[in-house]
Structure 1
Amino acid sequence: MRIVGGSLRGLKLADVGTGDTAAHLRPTTDRVREAIFNLLVNGTHGNPIPGARVLDLFAGTGALGLEALSRGAAQITLVDDGSKAQALIRSNIAKARAEEAAELLRRDATRLGDSRGAPHGLVFLDPPYARGLGEKAVASALHGGWIAPGALVVWEESRPPLVPARLVPIDQRRYGDTLVTLARLPGA
């Protein structure tokens, strides 16, 4: 796995191999990550990355958040409760020399609690597929004030997710077994 664009382009991230099924680690492939960022940068919804506060739920390796940082995001918050994921994310933050711009939280994404900082304008969500955890995590993030009005949510799943009524779906694309749904929280 590598960062595919921006100032950190080409940076090799900590190797996960084929993932860690026990820990539900299934890293977004470089190809899918590149497609997601091309969609964000070139889409009709405006590029949400420059200067953004980014929330990466079920962060796994942190690759999505670090890719956003490489492409101009101001700050990333990476959330994962797995010990293997925590170690991988810490290693990748160090490789990217992103300690000052990255916050790593060991927390269950489906029970975030209240946000202690400013809300996030770009949210990545890559839960274990087909378990309904994405829906719970989005509900938790909305309830806790983690998502800013006008924020864009990028949701990876194997099937169409049940997007909460507060979010407006704006695009959906399939890349192999990954379905990427873009949704926006109205406001601002």
Structure 2
Amino acid sequence: MQKKSSSFQPNRTPNKPSHGTPRLAPRQVRIIGGAWKRMLLPVLDAEGLRPTPDRVRETVFNWINHQLGSDWAGAHFLDLFAGSGALGFEAASRGAASVTMVDNHGPAARQLEDNREKLKAGNVKVLRADALALVRDLAARGQRFDLIFLDPPYQLGLLSQILPLCPAVLNDGGLVYAETGEPLPAQGDEVPDWLSGWDAIREDKAGMVYYYLLKPHTDGA
């Protein structure tokens, strides 16, 4: 893949120590904040499905809360590769105006729908769809979101395919949260084309998970 210098600007901060957290019963995820705080939701036992850990979600949602100015009621979220729904349900619990969850795996989508019904989450919509095709369709229909969650299976290279499509479905000032199994290039490194045009405004690492809050670069910013 051709590489070039770009505006990608990670904001390097010292990594925090990764302390262990108590394990939940198998195939459950805990909501950590908002109206459904401490609620346990069943998670499908499927290969590659790995809910974002509690500690990571706590950090990420603190970042998001700061970026939103605590205005969850005015924010619309798109949770692509939703999997367990840990990120999307967390946003909904905190009062998001809407959360659209997307997964192309039938049993996972049905589990998400069951959990939506369990919570009576009127601000959540579950779609069974291919994420890449759906984003193109949403862009064509003019739908926009304030934050997109990207936590695809690491081994399939989906982040490099989906990230370039995201600006077309982001509101002005919108953000992308991304999880990866390896670090994105540091400031000053050459970066791949698919990452050019993005700034990392926050980042951290927990175990083997690297996670970022990304913002599309605007010329002159």
TM over 0.5: yes
- Separation in 2, partners of 1:103, 1:46: 21
**Would the alpha carbon gap of residues 2 and 128 (structure 1) be closer, same or farther in structure 2, given more than 3 Å must change?**
same
Gaps of 5+ in 1: none
The two structures, once aligned, show a CA RMSD in angstroms of 2.1
- Separation in 1, partners of 2:142, 2:108: 23
In the alignment, is residue 132 of structure 1 matched against residue 132 of structure 2?
A: no
The higher-RCO structure (CA 8 Å, 6+ apart) is: 2
Does the CA contact (< 8 Å) of 2:80 and 2:131 recur in 1? Answer: yes
> One-letter code of the match for 2:200?
P
> One-letter code of the match for 1:121?
D
> One-letter code of the match for 2:129?
R
- Tell me the CA shift for residue 49 of structure 1: 5.8
Post-superposition CA distance 1:91-129 (Å, at most 9, x none): 11112211x311212111123222136300011110001
Paired-residue identity, %: 38
Give the equivalent residue in structure 2 for 1:107.
129
Match runs of 1:58-69 below 5 Å? 58-69=81-92
Gaps of 5+ in 2: 1-28, 185-191
Q: Which structure features the higher share of helix residues?
A: 2
> One-letter code of the match for 1:33?
R
Equivalent residues, number: 178
Give the equivalent residue in structure 2 for 1:173.
204
- Separation in 2, partners of 1:85, 1:5: 23
What is the TM-score when the length of structure 2 is the normalising length?
0.72
Match runs of 1:15-26 below 5 Å? 15-16=43-44, 19-21=45-47, 24-26=48-50
Report the more deviating stretch, 69-78 or 115-124: 115-124
- Tell me the CA shift for residue 48 of structure 1: 6.7
- Separation in 2, partners of 1:15, 1:46: 28
